[in-house]
């Protein structure tokens, strides 16, 4: 009899407990419930579970000041993962003014000081490419040579030495492998002299250009001239020094140092660039490389490497990055007024401030003084983008057309489609994305963009056909997060 009473009591207790829990679940907002669970686990020193529920509460839009402050304190005192840094930055940069915001900003400021104390004398501030960090995410980094037939063996060997030097200086972070096809870095030797008619009286020593599509780094093209300004072949030391500079660009450092001793110093003094003396990497060069590859990239080829930081605590916010790049570009122009790279970089800083009139002015200058097809294409593509952003759609299309004379890239088709959408030429936009999908049938972003165009124009059956064809050819992508919102169309 007693056992029966005990069983009844236990049943009642369980029923009441479950009822309370269900009541809490149904009457509290999800954000509040997750916040409560976060506090619950914090009191029990289970910080991993606490952070998980605080994260859920934050994503549900919890703007309660006490909650935000508790969440920031938990993030600060937990292992500083990439995700934790990202969340601190989002709180530091959002529009809510409270203690959480101030605490996040103060912590990130101190973290930045700590990082730069750990890597003194670095010049990482100049590393970004269009305010983004770019570098390889898979080791080994492969490289290959093109057009070596008439290049002296000792000059090719000098470039190999440059790769070896950077590998030894990377604190075992990097490793290179020479291949014959599909290399990450393609080194193209050219033999241009000042008297070459198509180059007028201008001279190109070397340049490196990234091949990027949809934030994926496909390749770095490094171009090295084998002749010096006087028309004589480079010596091995001269080629080594030039390759040492360009290799760091090919590794993802897209700017220049402001200090003369560093290998990435910008200069138009030909004697300083090609003096016949073997240069050494400085401590600042080595520390900058090490720090660059500790930052999670925005543009990369793979996500195999592990990272310590996101760019914000290392470089600061977008305004700070933009200011540093503008100063670098102005110095570049002062030292090398006949080199287009400085004008392109300065134009980008104006575009980042949405001052497209100034951006266009400097891009036009860059185009006028360009001495090779790569920089002409870069200037024209950016002119197309700047005019598009300013609302000058016909001019934008004109620059797209001129850019296509130098290179056919997906980016031009995407930009053309976006221009057509603004002009109301929906058929033109559909044609551009259809062409992109035909050439890149596995690219989910192109599929999503074309689907959205059809949906925005109420062409639901056509939108469904695009998605169904993609999933049919890529069944493993059916559960891709990017297709989640289109679930009903896939039935």
Question: What's the total number of domains in the chain?
Answer: 3
Out of 103, 118, 133, a domain closes at 118
* % pLDDT > 90, the chain: 59
CATH code: domain of residue 292: 3.40.390.10
Give all strands of the β-sheet with 206-213 in edge-to-edge order.
176-178, 141-146, 185-190, 216-225, 206-213
| Residue 76 shares a structural domain with residue 195 | no
> Over the stretch 380-406, which tens digit does the pLDDT of each residue have?
999 999 999 999 999 999 999 999 999
**pLDDT class for 487, splitting at 50, 70, 90?**
confident
pLDDT, average across residues 147-156: 94
Q: In whole angstroms, what is the distance from residue 178 CA to residue 55 CA?
A: 44
Specify the range with the lowest mean pLDDT, choosing from 107-116, 437-446, 473-482: 473-482
* Reported confidence tier of residue 478, pLDDT bands at 50, 70, 90: confident
Establish if 217 belongs to a structural domain. Answer: yes
Q: Are residues 37 and 108 in the same domain?
A: yes
**For the domain that residue 57 is a member of, what is the CATH number?**
1.25.40
> Within this chain, do residues 306 and 338 fall inside the same structural domain, yes or no?
no
Per-residue pLDDT tens over the stretch 228-239: 877 889 999 999
Handedness of CA 411, 416, 421, 422 (dihedral sign): positive
- CATH number of the domain where residue 379 is located: 1.25.40.10
Q: What is the pLDDT of residues 360-375, one digit of tens each?
A: 999 999 999 998 888 8
Residue after which a domain boundary falls, among 118, 133, 151: 118
The set of residues, in sequence order, having a beta carbon less than 8 Å from that of 467 and lying 6+ positions away, is 447, 451, 483, 486, 489, 490
**Position 330 pLDDT exceeds 70:** yes
| Adjacent-strand bridge partners of 176 | 141
Q: Are residues 448 and 347 in the same domain?
A: yes
- Whether residue 479 is predicted with pLDDT greater than 60 in this model: the reply is yes
What are the tens digits of pLDDT across the range 164-207? Answer: 999 999 988 899 999 999 999 999 999 877 655 344 445 578 88
Pick 90 or 10 by higher pLDDT.
Answer: 90
* Residue 7 placed within a domain: no
* 20, pLDDT greater than 70: no
Is residue 17 one of the residues assigned to a domain?
no
- Measured CA to CA in angstroms, residue 47 lies from 50, 74, 80, 111, 201 at distances of 5, 8, 13, 21, 66
Q: Does 9 reside within a domain?
A: no
pLDDT confidence tier of residue 5, bands split at 50, 70 and 90: low
> Does some domain include residue 134?
no
Whether 465 shows a pLDDT value over 60: the answer reads: yes
Is residue 30 situated within a structural domain?
yes
Both structure tokens of 45: 């020193």
**Contacts of 416 by beta carbon, 8 Å cutoff, 6+ apart:** 397, 400, 428, 432
pLDDT at residue 274 above 70?
A: no
**Is the Cα dihedral 115, 118, 124, 125 positive or negative?**
positive
- The answer to whether the beta carbons of residues 382 and 347 sit under 8 Å apart is yes
pLDDT in tens, 398-457: 999 999 999 888 999 999 999 999 999 999 999 999 999 999 898 999 999 999 999 999
When pLDDT is averaged across residues 66-81 and rounded to a whole number, the result is 90
Report, as an integer, the average pLDDT of 458-485. Answer: 89
Question: Which structural domain range is residue 44 located in?
Answer: 26-118
Q: Are residues 424 and 372 in the same domain?
A: yes
pLDDT, residue 148, reads 92
pLDDT of residue 198: 44
Last residue of a domain, one of 312, 342, 375: 312
Q: Return the percentage of the chain with pLDDT > 70, whole number.
A: 90
Residue 49 covered by a domain: yes
What confidence score (pLDDT) does residue 3 get?
Answer: 59
Please tell me whether residues 253 and 156 are part of one structural domain: yes
How are beta strands 206-213 and 216-225 bridged, if at all? antiparallel
Q: What is the pLDDT of residue 118?
A: 94
Same domain assignment for residues 305 and 401: no
Mean pLDDT, all residues of the chain? 88
Residue 398, CB-side half-sphere exposure with 13 Å CA sphere: 7
- For the cut 50, the answer to whether the pLDDT of residue 268 exceeds it is no
**What is residue 297's DSSP assignment?**
P
3-state helix, strand and coil shares in percent for the chain, rounded to the nearest 5: 60, 10, 30
Backbone angles phi, psi at 291, to 5 degrees: -70, -40
Question: Residue 446 region, left (φ>0) first, then alpha (ψ -120 to 50), else beta?
Answer: alpha
On whether both 308 and 337 belong to a single domain, the answer is: no
Q: pLDDT at position 134, please?
A: 96
Give the CA radius of gyration of the chain.
28
Q: Specify the pTM.
A: 0.76
Q: Is residue 223 classed as helix, strand or coil in its secondary structure?
A: strand
Residue found under tokens 């309660």: 64
- For residues 151 and 298, membership in a common domain is answered with yes
Q: Are residues 340 and 483 in the same domain?
A: yes
Given a cut of 90, whether residue 318 has pLDDT beyond it is no
Same domain, 446 and 484: yes
**Whose structure tokens read 């393609």?**
186
My answer on whether 275 and 156 are in the same domain is yes
List the one residue out of 44, 122, 80, 43 whose CA is nearest residue 314. 122
**125 in any annotated domain:** no
């Amino acid at each position: 009899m007693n056992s029966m009473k005990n069983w009844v009591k236990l049943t009642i207790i369980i029923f009441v407990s479950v009822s309370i829990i269900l009541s809490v679940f149904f009457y509290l907002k999800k954000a509040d419930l997750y916040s409560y669970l976060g506090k619950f686990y914090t009191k029990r020193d289970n910080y991993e579970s606490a952070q998980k529920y605080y994260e859920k509460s934050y994503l549900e839009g919890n703007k309660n000041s006490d909650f935000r402050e508790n969440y920031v304190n938990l993030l600060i005192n937990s292992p500083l993962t990439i995700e934790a840094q990202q969340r601190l930055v989002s709180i530091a940069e959002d529009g809510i003014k409270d203690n959480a915001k101030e605490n996040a900003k103060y912590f990130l400021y101190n973290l930045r000081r700590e990082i730069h104390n750990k890597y003194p004398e670095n010049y990482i501030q100049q590393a970004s490419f269009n305010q983004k960090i770019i570098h390889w995410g898979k080791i080994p980094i492969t490289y290959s040579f093109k057009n070596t037939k008439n290049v002296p063996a000792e000059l090719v060997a000098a470039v190999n030495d440059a790769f070896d030097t950077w590998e030894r200086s990377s604190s075992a972070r990097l490793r290179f492998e020479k291949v014959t096809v599909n290399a990450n870095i393609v080194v193209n030797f050219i033999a241009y002299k000042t008297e070459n008619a198509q180059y007028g009286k201008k001279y190109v020593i070397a340049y490196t250009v990234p091949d990027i599509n949809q934030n994926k780094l496909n390749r770095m093209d490094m171009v090295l001239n084998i002749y010096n300004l006087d028309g004589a072949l480079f010596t091995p030391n001269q080629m080594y020094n030039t390759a040492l500079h360009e290799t760091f660009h090919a590794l993802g450092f897209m700017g220049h140092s402001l200090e003369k001793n560093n290998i990435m110093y910008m200069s138009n003094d030909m004697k300083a660039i090609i003096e016949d003396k073997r240069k050494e990497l400085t401590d600042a060069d080595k520390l900058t490389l090490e720090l660059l590859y500790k930052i999670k990239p925005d543009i990369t080829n793979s996500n195999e490497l592990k990272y310590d930081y996101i760019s914000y605590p290392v470089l600061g916010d977008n305004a700070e990055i933009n200011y540093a790049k503008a100063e670098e570009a102005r110095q570049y122009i002062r030292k090398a007024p006949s080199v287009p790279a400085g004008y392109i970089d300065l134009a980008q800083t104006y575009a980042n401030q949405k001052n497209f009139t100034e951006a266009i002015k400097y891009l036009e200058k860059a185009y006028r003084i360009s001495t090779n097809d790569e920089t002409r294409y870069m200037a024209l593509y950016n002119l197309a983008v700047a005019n598009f952003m300013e609302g000058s759609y016909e001019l934008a299309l004109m620059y797209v057309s001129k850019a296509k004379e130098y290179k056919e890239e997906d980016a031009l088709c995407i930009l053309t489609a976006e221009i057509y959408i603004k002009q109301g030429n929906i058929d033109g936009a559909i044609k551009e994305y259809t062409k992109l999908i035909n050439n890149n049938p596995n690219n989910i972003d192109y599929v999503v963009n074309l689907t959205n165009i059809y949906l925005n124009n109420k062409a639901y059956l056509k939108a469904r056909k695009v998605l169904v064809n993609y999933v049919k050819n890529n069944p493993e992508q059916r559960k891709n997060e990017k297709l989640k919102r289109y679930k009903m169309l896939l039935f």
